[in-house]
Amino acid sequence: MSFTRLSPDDFLISADSVTAGAWTGNVPTLTSFNTSSVQVASTSGNYYLNIYQTGSTQTAAEIQFNIAFGDAAGSGSLLYDAGINGKSFTSTVYGQWQNIVLGDENNQFIFGGVTPVTQSFYAISVERSKYKGSIFPGTLALTIQSSSAGGNFDLQLTDNSNDVSTTVFNEAGRVFQIVSGSAGKAIGSGATPSDAVANGMTASGSYGLFLPDVGAIILNATALGLESSGGGVGLNTLYNSNTTDNNPAILYNAISASGNFTLNSQENITSDYVFVRAKNSQFNYSSNPSFISGSTGEVLYNNFINAPQTFVTTIGMYNDENELLAVAKLSKPLIKDFTKEALVRVKLDF
């Protein structure tokens, strides 16, 4: 009689949300940004730029996120075929994100209610292992530095998740606007350009879309290209035809110069709790070889006959076929005898 059946009351399923810093080592803020010349020179370098937290050749180097540039007209990169206009790496990136975010090849990106005439954007994709389940809204803090002739200017971007009362969904799940501000709230009207469509935005709409469920940030290239008076950083996105403009590197330089990219990951961990109850009359004898003396099974001590004591060290969870599926060890032996009952909560994480 080694096995005891569990009843439905002994099971409890609990889903807990766990948040942590998104970058390597659960660090919330990335301050050092590095690229890999090998990756840049490879085929993937035509589409996106991998960003590492340290030199890419160091053993600790891990990809944190990547930057791609998409343009509906295919500007900013070489054409696949010089005789076919509009089909290039940037148009591929545009179509890819159009499919993910909009779901329809005829829909256009709209930022804060404004549809840019030039349909182009920067897509920041956070590594899946970094954002885990999703990006935690309200934690985005991305600083983009301008290097205009008028001097350096930092633009602090965040999502507007703490400003909105109703969450908007699109094909990529939850979607928030990226605005000038901090901690999920846009700056006030006093700091917003007078021609902006809303607080923390510009005349060209918001600075982008924050897509926490797919771990991505779509930045509005038109808004970032505005001068500081208009709320932008004068980001000099290039739109040359059939030319490798390396636009991802332009955004990379602007982010790297600021040294601030903060994100928290979010993960729902489903735990299965099993309540193991050992009643007073159960589990008071042991098949442990040291519990008996000799080969005929006599218990080791005479007082074990009427007052046996056992010491629980391990709990095994079995299926109907007596196959051991999970095992839990106690931190120290738990004494058990006819005068004691034990209740142990076993936690299984999936």
Partner 1 sequence: MGYLNNSVVTVDAILTNKGRELLARGDGSFRITQFALSDDEIDYTLYNPTHPSGSAFYGQAIENMPLLEAFPETTQNLRYKLVTLPRGTAKMPVLDLGFSQVTLKQGASLAITPQTLNYLGNNQVFEANGYTATIADVRVLNTFNGVGIQTEGAVALNQTETLGTNVSSTVVGTTINMTATTVNTLFGSNTELNTTLQVIGRDSGARITIPIKITKTNA
Tell me which residues in 263-282 interact with partner 1 (CB under 8 A): 272, 274, 276, 278, 281-282
Q: Is 1 in the site for partner 1 (CB under 8 A)?
A: yes
Which residues in the 30-49 window bind partner 1 by CB under 8 A? none
**Of these, 241, 321, 339, 341, which contacts partner 1 (CB under 8 A)?**
321
* Binding flag, residue 283, partner 1 (CB under 8 A): yes
6 belongs to the binding site for partner 1 (CB under 8 A): yes
**H or E stretch including 257?**
helix 247-258
Looking at beta carbons only, is 115 or 288 nearer to partner 1? 288
CA 109/CA 59 separation, integer angstroms: 39
Cα 35 to the center of its chain, rounded Å: 21
Spatial separation of the C-alpha atoms in residues 203 and 112, rounded to whole Å: 10
Query: Of 137, 135, 138, 136, whose CA–CA distance to 183 is shortest?
Result: 138
Quick one: which segment of 1-9, 75-83, 121-129, 141-149 binds partner 1 (CB under 8 A)?
Answer: 1-9
Fill in the DSSP letter of residue 254.
Answer: H
Cβ proximity to partner 1: between 100 and 346 the closer is 346
Among 25, 106, 332, 339, binds partner 1 (CB under 8 A): 332
Which helix (H) or strand (E) segment holds residue 315: the answer is strand 310-318
Binding residue (CB under 8 A) for partner 1 from 55, 103, 173, 333: 333
Q: How far is the CB of 228 from partner 1 (least distance, A)?
A: 53
Q: Which is nearer to partner 1, 169 or 350 (CB)?
A: 350
* Among 91, 90, 111, CA closest to 219: 111
In 3-state terms, what secondary structure has residue 306? helix
Place of tokens 């739109």: 239
Q: Name the residue nearer to partner 1 (CB basis): 194 or 295.
A: 295
Residue 127: HSE in the Cβ half-sphere, 13 Å Cα cutoff: 14
What are residue 261's DSSP bridge partners?
30, 142
What's the DSSP call for residue 6? P
- DSSP characters for 88-152? BHHHHHHHHHIIIIISSTT----BTTB--SS-EEEEEEE-HHHHBTEE-TT--EEEEEEEETTEE
268 vs 280 by CB, closer to partner 1: 280
Interaction between residue 296 and partner 1 (CB under 8 A): yes
Residues shown for the chain: 350
Residue with tokens 């998104």: 22
* Interface map 116-155 toward partner 1 (x if CB under 8 A): ----------------------------------------
- Shortest Cβ distance from residue 19 to partner 1 (Å)? 20
Residue of 291, 339, 340, 341 that binds partner 1 (CB under 8 A): 291
- Residues 298 to 317: which contact partner 1 by CB under 8 A? 298-301, 303, 305-306, 308-317
Task: Name every residue whose Cβ is closer than 8 Å to that of residue 269 and which is 6 or more positions away in sequence.
Answer: 15, 16, 17, 18, 349, 350
- Site for partner 1 (CB under 8 A): how many residues? 71
Smallest gap from residue 266 Cβ to partner 1 (A): 22
The two tokens of residue 311 are 């010491």
Determine, following the binding rule CB under 8 A, whether residue 327 of this chain makes contact with partner 1.
Answer: yes
Q: Which is nearer to partner 1, 2 or 165 (CB)?
A: 2
Q: Is 347 in the site for partner 1 (CB under 8 A)?
A: yes
